[in-house]
């Protein structure tokens, strides 16, 4: 049965918690439910955290009342998860970034706002935390436009692959694939590994040279890149069925297409500090994804 603990992270100190950011919005409540499921799969405690410059108010309601209500709502579906909650004063991005060092997973609502050209854009808090957190961050979009009615939903992971003697890229691939394989295993689903091998806009002039390029050889080379990156992982995670996908497109386009009905999309981000900027592929995926996206931090050497 769920135990409500008012002061933060006092129970089960031996296990790092899954932390969910809660601001009272509908998407943050959905993020808390997803975090509870993640905590149950990991046999980890769940911590609900509200951070604001004024902790006594949360969308016009007392923060402690909202947090307790969210915790109570989880009791019906995740009875084996131990829940704690707390309120912190400060900039939400700074607070969440700080607690990420003690968490195994951070789950946030996307909190989208209007983009520059009228389209949706992920909120600044989620974007800032995903770019600089010390643990993997799952961002839940404010709307879900794709729903699988029947059949299995997969975990999708973007694979850059090893393109040379780049130790940092090798380590990044290891960290991202390690997270993705574990997620697929504990979710008991398959893993779709996507490698996009044309990450630049295709111009008409370049395409006109198509007959002069041995595209079959290029594709074969890229297939080897993906196979090399995945080598050994099937032995480590024999319960995970892996499907390899080669995409001749921009990385973001390929990942978003593959993850249209995915349970989770996993991408990597090289963390460069608290004011790090997010690379264009990760930023585009977060802005346009129709389902949860896990951003795995790759620590600098």
Tokens of 115: 């983009």
**Residue 12 CB burial class (10 angstroms; 0-12, 13-18, ≥19):** middle
Q: Which residue has the higher pLDDT, 231 or 199?
A: 231
**What CATH number labels 4-140?**
3.40.50.620
- Six-digit token pair at 295? 């951003």
The two three-digit tokens of residue 65, written as one number: 């009342």
> Over the stretch 213-264, which tens digit does the pLDDT of each residue have?
676 787 888 888 899 899 899 899 999 999 999 988 888 999 999 998 899 9
Pick the range with the lowest mean pLDDT from 105-119, 173-187, 279-293: 105-119
* pLDDT score of 9: 43
Assigned token pair, 178: 């390690």
The yes-or-no verdict on residue 200 having pLDDT over 70 is no
Query: In the predicted model, what is the mean pLDDT of the chain?
Result: 79
One fold for 4-140 and 155-294: yes
Q: What's the mean pLDDT in 160-166?
A: 57
Greater confidence (102 vs 5) lies with 102
Which backbone phi and psi does 212 adopt, to 5 degrees? Answer: -85, -10
pLDDT at 204: 45
Cβ–Cβ < 8 Å for 5, 91: no
pTM assigned to the model? 0.83
- DSSP H or E segment with residue 19: strand 18-21
Q: What is the CA radius of gyration of the chain?
A: 20
User: CATH fold of 155-294, please?
Assistant: Rossmann fold (3.40.50)
Show me where the domains of the chain are located: 4-140, 155-294
Q: Flag whether pLDDT at 171 surpasses 60.
A: yes
pLDDT per position as a tens digit, 23-68: 888 899 999 999 999 999 999 999 999 988 765 555 546 778 888 8
Helix (H, G, I), strand (E, B) or coil at 194: strand
Q: Which residue has the tokens 């829940």?
A: 83
Q: Is the pLDDT of residue 119 over 70?
A: no
Phi, psi of 184 (to 5 degrees): -65, -40
> How many distinct helices (H) and strands (E) make up the chain?
10, 13
Instruction: Over range 70-80, report the average pLDDT.
Output: 77
The CA distance from 124 to 105, in Å, is 19
């Amino acid at each position: 049965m769920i135990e409500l603990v008012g002061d933060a992270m006092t129970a089960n100190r031996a296990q790092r918690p899954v932390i969910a950011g809660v601001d009272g919005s509908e998407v943050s409540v959905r993020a808390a439910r997803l975090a509870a499921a993640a905590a149950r799969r990991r046999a980890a405690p769940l911590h609900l955290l509200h951070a604001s410059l004024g902790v006594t108010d949360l969308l016009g309601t007392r923060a402690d009342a909202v947090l307790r209500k969210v915790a109570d709502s989880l009791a019906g579906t995740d009875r084996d998860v131990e829940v704690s909650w707390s309120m912190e004063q400060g900039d939400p991005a700074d607070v969440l970034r700080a607690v990420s060092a003690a968490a195994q997973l951070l789950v946030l609502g996307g909190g989208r706002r209007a983009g520059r050209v009228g389209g949706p854009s992920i909120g600044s808090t989620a974007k800032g935390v995903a770019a600089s957190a010390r643990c993997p961050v799952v961002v839940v979009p404010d709307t879900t436009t794709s729903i699988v009615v029947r059949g299995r939903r997969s975990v999708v992971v973007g694979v850059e692959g090893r393109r040379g003697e780049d130790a940092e890229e090798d380590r990044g691939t290891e960290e991202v694939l390690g997270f993705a394989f574990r997620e697929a295993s504990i979710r008991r689903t398959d893993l779709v590994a996507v490698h996009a091998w044309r990450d630049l806009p295709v111009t008409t002039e370049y395409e006109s040279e198509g007959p002069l390029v041995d595209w079959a050889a290029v594709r074969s080379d890229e297939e080897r890149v993906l196979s090399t990156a995945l080598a050994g992982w099937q032995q480590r995670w024999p319960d995970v069925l892996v499907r390899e996908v080669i995409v001749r497109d921009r990385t973001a386009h390929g990942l978003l297409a593959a993850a249209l009905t995915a349970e989770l999309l996993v991408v990597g981000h090289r963390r460069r500090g608290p004011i790090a900027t997010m690379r264009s592929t990760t930023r585009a995926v977060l802005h346009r994804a129709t389902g949860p996206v896990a951003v795995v931090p790759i620590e600098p050497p």
